[in-house]
Amino acid sequence: MGWRSAIGRGVWLLVIVLMAIGATGCRDRNDWHQKLTVVVDTPSGQVSGSSVVEVKSWFGQIPPSTNEVSYKIRGEATVVEVLPGRYLFALLGGSKERYYWAVRDELPTQNRGKWLKLIPKMSTVAILEPKNHGYPMLVTFRDINDPKSVREVDPLNLSATFGPGVSLDEITLEITDEPVTEGQIGKLLGWWLKQAKDNRDPPAFGVPNQSPRGYTTVGILEFVRGIDWRQE
């Protein structure tokens, strides 16, 4: 009976795999490029930075998972040189549905399967708000070459980090045909990327916060996703 049971389990696993493969082919796929732009007011005038990220979505369940949708992100964090040698990074976390949350009041439907089809065709340049999944996490380095100098930046009080006269003007998000941005993070944080050993990521940053632990962990996927960032 043992070998029969083993065969039975093997057949059942094969059925599940085949069902998953078949279901994958039936899922709705929608892709788009979205451009995040950060504009900052400084004593010397406005400065800005942009990054284009690709979002791929698949809608529809794959047995035995109960997930309705899955995403894949490719791109880099947005970088702004606020002051000479002082940089602001808008991280990638939350990128997958950020445009939806920004324009959802304009959409004729809140059905996810339907609005995923609509987003690639939209032309609205959304001005993000600090609430309702709006702003990405913002960080900076007091010394761009020192991992221990990383700090989270309050989007409503940039002057506390960068000094008097510096404030966030706006963060916008739009659908675009522009290519995915590559290379910005490597130019600024190449010293960090070089710390990756074998197939392991470089060590995550510990960004101080008010939690009981005293910091939040920010890893490579907040800065780069889906792009070959490994240094030679």
| Residue 12 confidence (pLDDT) | 53
CB-based contacts of 206-215 (< 8 A; 24+ apart in sequence): 206/150, 207/139, 207/150, 207/151, 207/152, 208/151, 208/152, 209/152
Token pair of 196, please? 């990756």
Chain segment 192-227, per-residue pLDDT in tens: 999 988 777 999 999 999 899 999 999 999 999 999
d(CA 213, CA 111): 38
d(CA 34, CA 98): 10
- Enter the DSSP assignment of 202: P
Q: Which distant-in-sequence residues (6+ apart) come within 8 Å of 3 by Cβ?
A: none
Chain segment 146-182, per-residue pLDDT in tens: 999 999 999 999 999 999 999 999 999 999 999 999 9
Chain segment 42-59, per-residue pLDDT in tens: 999 999 999 999 999 999
| Residue 23 confidence (pLDDT) | 46
**b/e for 166-180, b at 16 or more Cβ within 10 A?**
bebeebbbbbeeeee
pLDDT above 60: residue 20: no
pTM, rounded to two decimals: 0.86
Taking a C-beta distance cutoff of 8 angstroms, is the pair 32, 38 a contact? Answer: no
pLDDT above 70: residue 111: yes
